[in-house]
Amino acid sequence: MVSPLDLLFESEGLPSFDLPDELARLYGGPLGFATPRLYANFVSTLDGVVAISSVPESNKIIAAGSEADRFLIGLLRAFAGVIVVGSGTLHGSPKGLWAPDGPYPAAGDALAELRRRLSLPFEPEVAILTRSGSVDVDHPVFEKGALVLTTIWGKAVLGARLPAASTIVALGEELDPREAVAWLRERGHSLVLTEGGPTVFGSLVAAGLVDELFLTVSPLLAGRGEPDDRLQLIEDAPLLPDAGVRGRLLSARAQGSHLFLRYELTR
């Protein structure tokens, strides 16, 4: 069983939900969200790398084997009505189902109890963003049932190839992230989690849609060189100097040499 996170700092007055005791003990205190909220969760190396695109499932390497990170992924999933990921992350996780109990099954019962208390269905919905429609329709998340938010073109490309359990929605010519999030809100999702990847996260941040970032900092250095196959926390969205997005530290936790940071993002 994972050891509890050590609380280093927490801002006063944060929303707090009645977590099952086991989850509160492992998280090192209460957790909750104002609604509506869009929050992101990433693990990064000390030098800001979140993926090595030439290495399958590189986030496992980046997390440096942290059980606490896996626990936190599950806990954050358990609060969500829907989890949003880009097609790059879908292909980077060929078996991913984005279930709350997937990363840390030992907390599965407590996570299920949390979802009962939140009056949420057993598992969050999973929404895949793809403009081009080039997704692997044999990915297991589609067999289980996922939402595919795409363009008119992407819907035409996918045609009827997705399994019946999944739903495809065309949101115009461009797939503006604002429209994607608005569509999910209309569907009734007030708590939206994005697990990236960095290109989708960048477009959500650039559109001013991300309220909070949970960032696990692992003690590894990824380095950089040729081939340049390292992705940073944000790709393809130059923010500074024009778009100043700033984090306000809401909490800091630690376990060993890993840091678990929670920021509110503001412009």
Ligand X SMILES: NC(=O)c1ccc[n+]([C@@H]2O[C@H](COP(=O)([O-])OP(=O)(O)OC[C@H]3O[C@@H](n4cnc5c(N)ncnc54)[C@H](OP(=O)(O)O)[C@@H]3O)[C@@H](O)[C@H]2O)c1
Contacts of 14 (CB under 8 A, 6+ apart): 30, 32, 250, 251
Q: By CB under 6 A, is residue 130 in contact with ligand X?
A: yes
- Pick out residues in 12-51 that bind ligand X (CB under 6 A): 42-43, 50-51
Report the distance separating Cα 11 and Cα 112, nearest Å: 27
Q: How many residues in the shown chain lie near ligand X by CB under 6 A?
A: 31
Q: By CB under 6 A, is residue 213 in contact with ligand X?
A: no
According to CB under 6 A, which one of 19, 20, 31, 59 is a site residue for ligand X? 59
Q: By CB under 6 A, is residue 74 in contact with ligand X?
A: no
Which range touches ligand X (CB under 6 A), out of 80-88, 165-173, 247-255, 259-267?
80-88
Instruction: Return the structure tokens found at 155.
Output: 């819907």
CB of 90 closer than 8 Å to CB of 96: yes
Which range touches ligand X (CB under 6 A), out of 12-20, 84-92, 157-165, 244-252?
84-92
3-state helix, strand, coil in the chain (%, to 5): 30, 25, 45
Contacts of 207 (CB under 8 A, 6+ apart): 176, 177, 178
According to CB under 6 A, which one of 123, 125, 212, 235 is a site residue for ligand X? 235
Q: By CB under 6 A, is residue 210 in contact with ligand X?
A: no
CB of 77 closer than 8 Å to CB of 95: no
Report the distance separating Cα 67 and Cα 63, nearest Å: 9
Q: How far is CA 28 from CA 14, 110, 257, in A?
A: 14, 15, 16
User: Which is nearer to ligand X, 26 or 50 (by Cβ)?
Assistant: 50
According to CB under 6 A, which one of 192, 200, 259, 265 is a site residue for ligand X? 200
Q: Please report how close the Cβ of residue 128 comes to ligand X at its closest, in angstroms.
A: 8
DSSP SS3 for 110: helix
CB-closest chain residue to ligand X: 88
Q: By CB under 6 A, is residue 166 in contact with ligand X?
A: no
- Which spans of this chain sit near ligand X (rule: CB under 6 A)? 42-43, 50-51, 53, 58-59, 62, 85-89, 92-93, 129-132, 134, 175, 177, 195-200, 203, 231, 235
